[in-house]
Amino acid sequence: MTIRCRPMRPIDVYPCVEIVAEHPFIGPRYGSLLSDLGSIWLSLLGREAFRAYVYEDLQDGPPRLVGVACSAIISADFLQEAKTPPFFWIGPELARRVCLGQSPLLSDKQVREGNSHGGLNVTIWERAQHVRDMHRIEVSNSFFSTFIELHRGFQLKEIVGQGSTVETLAAHSRNGYLFISKGDGKYTETMDKQPHDLIREPHLTGLTRELAFSRLGTWASTLFLYEPPRFGFSPGEQRLLLTALLGGTDEDLADELGISLSAVKKAWHSIYERVSNYDAKLVPSPAPVEEGIAERGKMKKQRLLAYLRDHPEELRPAAP
């Protein structure tokens, strides 16, 4: 697998906007808003309600940017507007409202409270492949698989999105999403038009928590599986653990998070102590006299990360 997904950094923002601008279907949707999109995304980086990732090709030389994807956790009012015919392009409308100071994205506090009580609504803001990589199946597959991984563990109520290519629409249907009818705004398994016509005008795909239980076994339905977290990690601990799940040494984590190596080690100590208070068997501490403590520490980290891959709810924002 030569495609790597990682969180968007400030240095990535404007190259990602260029990918959107050059996309034959997505770029024209934004029009004059393209000139503001970079500053809008920069202002949202780090917000709980804005989750942005880039995709790089690692084959044959230094990493090359091949795609960008971002999602937004939105208010119920905006979701209802988006689902009410006639539809509009969600990404450009989000950009326009943020620009006007009327952002429909939830605050960090609202995200934490919603994820603990009742659930959240998510929309795909944008998912764009570089024009030269638009038809590479491995890039498209990475988009869908990582979206699932990056959004599992939230207490979701509903997800909506829009396609950028005929292949994207087909993948939405194949992965378990439904279409929303332009006639009555209700979910249906059939498209209103042929795919090559549908992507040229506003349309919607999505799924609700209730409908997901009738589509068990699909990729999309797995997004609605939820268990309350046990450990109550702090936002800083969650950021470290999310970065650790992408691989790398403690030195890599310090560089990625912009903190000292000693701060990373202190954070790991706090994390292990917190986990052991709830589940001592998950991260057992070796006796001081035992040999190979460093190796056992590595195994402890591996066991915890393996657990978190199966329990992503531990890494999602939640009310104290």
Domain definitions of the chain by residue range: 3-168, 235-315
pLDDT for 243 equals 85
pLDDT for 297 equals 66
Contacts of 126 (CB under 8 A, 6+ apart): 20, 26, 68, 69, 70, 91
For the segment 9-23, the average pLDDT, to the nearest whole number, is 97
Residue 70 CA to residue 126 CA, distance in Å, equals: 5
For the segment 247-261, the average pLDDT, to the nearest whole number, is 84
Residue 293 CA to residue 296 CA, distance in Å, equals: 5
Q: Which fold has domain 3-168?
A: Aminopeptidase (3.40.630)
- Peptide bond preceding 28 in cis form (omega within 30 of 0): no
Give the tens place of pLDDT for each residue, 215-235. Answer: 988 999 999 999 999 999 998
For the segment 174-183, the average pLDDT, to the nearest whole number, is 94
Give the tens place of pLDDT for each residue, 26-84. Answer: 999 999 999 999 999 999 999 999 999 999 999 888 999 999 999 999 999 999 999 99
> Rounded to 5 degrees, what angle do the CA atoms 75, 80, 85 make?
145
Residue 186 CA to residue 224 CA, distance in Å, equals: 19
Question: pLDDT averaged over the chain?
Answer: 91
The two three-digit tokens of residue 294, written as one number = 């460093």
Residues recorded for the chain: 320
